[in-house]
C-alpha cells in the first residue's frame, strides 16, 4: 500500500511539473493582427457558430432538469446566439480587408472572451 501511495505521489508530481512547463506559452504571443485576424475570426464564427444551438440545449436541460424545456427553450436561446454569430462571421469573412480589425460584432466574442455560462 505504501509503494502504491508513493507511486501515485510521484506520478502527480511529474504531471504537475509538465503542466507548469507550458505555463509561459500564451495564445497572445502568437496572435495574428490585422486583416488576417479578422478573416480568421470570421471563418471560425461562420464554421462553429451553429454549435451554440446544442450547447444551449444542453445547458438549459442541465439547469432546469427538464428535457422538454431544454429542447424548446434551449433551442430558441441557441438560435438567438448562433444566428448573429454566424452572420457576423460571414460579414467578417467578406469584409476582412476593410479596417476595423479589433472589433467583433458579436458580444461576447466566444473565441476570445469567456462565456457567462463558464463563469458560473
| 73-85 pLDDT, tens digit each | 999 999 999 999 9
Instruction: Identify whether 21 is part of a domain.
Output: no
pLDDT score of 119: 44
Please state the domain count of the chain: 1
Going by pLDDT thresholds of 50, 70 and 90, the confidence category of residue 19 is: low
Instruction: Identify whether 19 is part of a domain.
Output: no
Cis peptide before 108 (omega within 30 of 0): yes
Instruction: Identify whether 22 is part of a domain.
Output: no
Instruction: Identify whether 61 is part of a domain.
Output: yes
Task: Give CA–CA dist 79/36, Å, rounded.
Answer: 28
3-state secondary structure of 77: helix
Instruction: Identify whether 93 is part of a domain.
Output: yes
Is the model's pLDDT at 11 over the cut of 60?
yes
Going by pLDDT thresholds of 50, 70 and 90, the confidence category of residue 55 is: very high
Task: Give CA–CA dist 44/93, Å, rounded.
Answer: 9
Task: List the domain range (segments joined by +) for residue 96.
Answer: 32-113
Of the ranges 26-30, 97-101, 115-119, the best mean pLDDT one: 97-101
* Mean confidence (pLDDT) of the chain: 77
Phi first, then psi: what are they for 70, rounded to 5°? -65, -40
84 contacts: CB under 8 Å, gap ≥ 6: 105, 106
Q: Which three cell numbers stand for residue 57?
A: 440545449
Instruction: Identify whether 76 is part of a domain.
Output: yes
Instruction: Identify whether 65 is part of a domain.
Output: yes
For residue 57, what is the DSSP state?
H
Instruction: Identify whether 47 is part of a domain.
Output: yes
Amino acid at each position: 500500500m505504501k509503494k502504491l501511495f508513493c507511486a501515485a505521489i510521484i506520478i502527480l508530481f511529474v504531471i504537475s511539473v509538465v503542466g507548469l512547463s507550458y505555463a509561459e506559452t500564451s495564445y497572445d504571443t502568437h496572435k495574428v493582427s490585422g486583416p488576417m485576424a479578422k478573416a480568421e475570426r470570421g471563418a471560425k464564427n461562420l464554421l462553429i457558430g451553429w454549435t451554440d444551438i446544442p450547447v444551449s440545449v444542453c445547458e438549459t436541460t442541465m439547469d432546469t432538469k427538464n428535457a422538454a424545456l431544454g429542447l424548446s427553450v434551449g433551442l430558441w436561446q441557441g438560435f438567438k446566439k448562433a444566428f448573429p454569430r454566424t452572420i457576423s462571421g460571414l460579414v467578417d469573412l467578406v469584409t476582412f480587408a476593410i479596417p476595423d480589425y479589433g472589433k467583433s460584432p458579436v458580444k461576447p466574442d466566444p473565441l476570445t472572451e469567456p462565456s457567462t455560462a463558464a463563469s458560473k
